[in-house]
Structure 1
Amino acid sequence: MKKMRLALIAGGKSAEREVSLKSGEQVFRALNKDKYDIRRYDPLTDLGKLVQDSPELDAALIIMHGRGGEDGTLQGMLDLLGVPYQGSGVLGSALGMNKELSKFLYQKAGLDVARAIFFDRHEAPSPQEIAAELGLPAVVKPVNEGSSIGVTIARTLEELKAGLEAAYQYDHRVLVEEFIKGIEVTGGVLGNHDLTALPLVEICPSESYAFFSYDAKYLPGASTEICPARLDPELTRRCQAAALAAHKALCCRGYSRTDMLVRDGKVHVLETNTIPGMTATSLFPQAAAVMGLDFPALLDKLIELALEKD
């Protein structure tokens, strides 16, 4: 049987480069070498080679996070080259990366979100004005980043001021939203036209972390994940329905993972990841495994979905 010529794209120059490289290595190890002729590319150094090789490629796996990989730019390039890839296209990727637009679309879809304000650095309200509108503690985030990069929880005006400065390191546009203390869950969705909601994963950051921060996501022992989540059947159904609705609202394709907070029976949608973390122990593969798809089988499924015609 002829092997499929597969581009494995990982690395890039975003703030999440190291996570992408780690994920790419684990994906490479898990892929069936009898089925795939795997060619590896790092957009930081290999874009020209990717363009040159594109006529020979059957499909691409984008294992990228953050700007230049998850925001629609690489997807647009592959569209121009005629190389199919897993996951969302240009529009869905761009919407998922922009927390301001995604929050607007969640609300249009009838989903509950945390109250928030958005502003550019040059027109930022004072910390006092922000606190008066949202109260403290509040969560500060760059509008265009993932993996909780640049995200802080501000409990005082001084912390709010410092949090804004930290967020500005990653984006000129920032959001500040009310802090919701609740159960953190994430819901995966798999499919193109026939969508499947994966079992929910409950995230329990250790006491050292106030939320599922970058370190809590990637440092060993910094958080505990429980799948399926410890929610009653009705709340589970509503969280899975919210993940499906978020996936559709952002025009996602192939797969996505939506983070949510549950408080007093109410589901608050936070954000949607259009390229979820893809190490064997990442949240999306964990949920797929509970559903019966081990890591190599999940990768096969994503490639199959990439080749499916719209």
Structure 2
Amino acid sequence: MNVNPTIIVLFGGPSDERHVSVASAQNVVRALDRPFAWFWSPTGAVHDVALDDLLAHERPFEVDFVPARPAIFPNIEQALDTLPVDNPVFLLALHGTGGEDGPLQRMFESRGIPFTGSDSTASEIAFDKARAKERLHGKVRMAESRVAQPDELPEVFSDMFTRHARLVLKPLAGGSSRGLFFLDRGDEIPRVDIPCIVEQFITGRELSDGVVDMGDGPIALPVIEIETDPGRDFDYAGKYLGHGTREICPAQIPDALAREVQEAARIAHETLGCNGYSRSDFVGADDGVYYLETNTLPGLTRASLVPQELDAAGISFRDFLLKMVERAGSKAHRLTGSQAQRL
């Protein structure tokens, strides 16, 4: 375990989810005692950011953060190779490709640098929705889905529409409800240029549940329900800009349904090998709970689901962050992803 660690909040990154990352970083640094804040810019350079500059940034979900100070490192690899502080622990406020999918985690592991969240193996598997579903097959209930390259979409939609009246199209890897489409029979298929997953739309209640390990093993937090206005979907604008959605925590659902969601979230967390915390999303249908996906670095913004669930569980956001930093200093993250022992 790291004694008197130097906490570095790493945020930004190369993905289109960096706006969420900036808002996560703002919420994190407010809760901690003057940590370092490093912005990993879309160009790859790393900037040491004054906390006042970070906190002064307005409308982070819509406006790009532009650091006032020049970069201190040209890329993340050099930043990790020439760390200017003692006993560093990186608190990852990153989301999406490049920050949540495994390569960055491998950089930390290969250098023996502690970091929060899951190791490279779990991050890589969970980020790929198809691989996550393969790993969880037979353990949780799932909707029918197929992976498709862009040129395969017409054939896949044609086939699946013979069995289902509504389908969901989403990136094979990614989060924050970007690139999410709901299609009925006869709708025009969106143009995409990345591998996607086409999934049976399940009618039911949109539910989500975080799992955290505060030292006594993984525990499922209170379930949250997302309600949407008629004609609206839980997309990026709904999730982060509050357009047509409401989040209810704890969810006002039957106890049996809440327990089923919590058990499924715990199974996903443990089966995928997540460490510290994760969040899994579900649909509560008439015939049971359907698993959708797992996030290994879910949003930590004021508007995000896990912080709301922590509050409902009586766990302070600061205590949660400090526990994740403590866990990061353990032996597990000093090993390579293939060797890492699950705590």
| TM-score of the aligned structures, taking structure 1 as reference length | 0.89
**Residue in structure 1 matched with residue 141 of structure 2 by the alignment:** 112
| Matching residue's letter, 2:177 | S
Of residues 98, 117, 129, the one that matches 1:87 is 117
Q: Aligned pair 1:25/2:26, yes or no?
A: yes
- Structure 1 residue 217, shift from structure 2 partner: 0.7
Tell me if structure 2 keeps the 8 A contact 1:102–1:250.
yes
Tell me if structure 1 keeps the 8 A contact 2:161–2:185.
no
- Structure 1 residue 294, shift from structure 2 partner: 2.0
Q: Aligned pair 1:10/2:40, yes or no?
A: no
Q: 1: CA distance between counterparts of 2:119 and 2:162?
A: 36
Structure 1 residues 222 and 61 mapped into 2: Cα distance closer, same or farther (>3 Å)?
farther
Tell me if structure 2 keeps the 8 A contact 1:54–1:83.
no
Tell me if structure 1 keeps the 8 A contact 2:144–2:200.
yes
Of residues 220, 232, 243, the one that matches 1:209 is 232
**Residue in structure 1 matched with residue 304 of structure 2 by the alignment:** 282
Q: Aligned pair 1:222/2:248, yes or no?
A: no
Q: Aligned pair 1:45/2:67, yes or no?
A: no
Of residues 110, 120, 129, the one that matches 1:99 is 129
Of residues 91, 115, 128, the one that matches 1:61 is 91
Tell me if structure 1 keeps the 8 A contact 2:148–2:156.
no
Tell me if structure 1 keeps the 8 A contact 2:279–2:306.
yes
Q: Aligned pair 1:303/2:325, yes or no?
A: yes
Q: Aligned pair 1:126/2:155, yes or no?
A: yes
Q: Deviations over 1:98-156 (max 9, x none)?
A: 01111112214x21011111122344452662344442211011101111111100113
Q: 2: CA distance between counterparts of 1:202 and 1:291?
A: 15
Q: 2: CA distance between counterparts of 1:79 and 1:265?
A: 42
Tell me if structure 1 keeps the 8 A contact 2:206–2:282.
yes
SS in 1 for 2:9: strand
Tell me if structure 2 keeps the 8 A contact 1:5–1:39.
no
Q: 2: CA distance between counterparts of 1:38 and 1:117?
A: 43
| TM-score of the aligned structures, taking structure 2 as reference length | 0.81
- Structure 1 residue 65, shift from structure 2 partner: 0.8
Q: 2: CA distance between counterparts of 1:174 and 1:121?
A: 7
Structure 1 residues 145 and 134 mapped into 2: Cα distance closer, same or farther (>3 Å)?
farther
| Matching residue's letter, 1:304 | E
Let me know the Cα RMSD of the aligned residues: 2.0
Q: 2: CA distance between counterparts of 1:209 and 1:123?
A: 28
Tell me how many residue pairs correspond in the alignment: 297
Structure 1 or 2: more helix by fraction: 1
- Structure 1 residue 259, shift from structure 2 partner: 0.3
Structure 1 residues 53 and 189 mapped into 2: Cα distance closer, same or farther (>3 Å)?
same
Structure 1 residues 136 and 66 mapped into 2: Cα distance closer, same or farther (>3 Å)?
same
Structure 1 residues 128 and 105 mapped into 2: Cα distance closer, same or farther (>3 Å)?
closer
- Structure 1 residue 249, shift from structure 2 partner: 1.6
